[in-house]
Amino acid sequence: MRRRIGELWIAFAVIHFVGVTIGGWSTVQDVFADGPINCIHGDVERDAFFGWFFMGVPILTTGVVTRWAQRRTGTLPESMGWITVVAFGIGALVAPLSGAWLGIALGIGTIAVSRHQGRGPQLPGDPSDGFVSYERGEPRHETTHR
């Protein structure tokens, strides 16, 4: 799990997008039937659908940033895990039958990864070879890309 926590966050976002789309399929059909421009216009059901759908964007962003941070520095900030545990914890309290529990589990996983020095040694051929981790005792440097 240490090497794949970012990918797990990304998978959670994909599951979220797919689940919301399937759950709101009739709304999706209505939007495409009416046209997507200015499609909400006071419709509470459509507003709720798009609100839930776009909640996947911060989840996806968390996954992408997590993956990037592990590849660039070899570790993650522990605060990132705590923030997600608290945020998804509140979500689980207000909506116990939701995917918030998966967010809590991934937040705990993020904390565990941050406490165990990230993902381990940097992989050869990693596109982020410009940074190396301080934790391995190597100097930090940047490469110039043209």
Helix (H) or strand (E) holding 76: none
Answer whether 0.85 is exceeded by the pTM. no
Q: What are φ and ψ of residue 40, in 5° steps?
A: -80, -60
pLDDT in tens, 27-41: 999 988 988 888 888
In this predicted structure, the answer to whether residue 126 has a pLDDT above a threshold of 70 is no
In this predicted structure, the answer to whether residue 129 has a pLDDT above a threshold of 60 is no
Domain ranges of the chain: 5-122
pLDDT in tens, 66-102: 999 888 888 888 999 999 999 999 999 999 998 899 9
Nearest Cα neighbor of 13 from 76, 75, 67 is 67
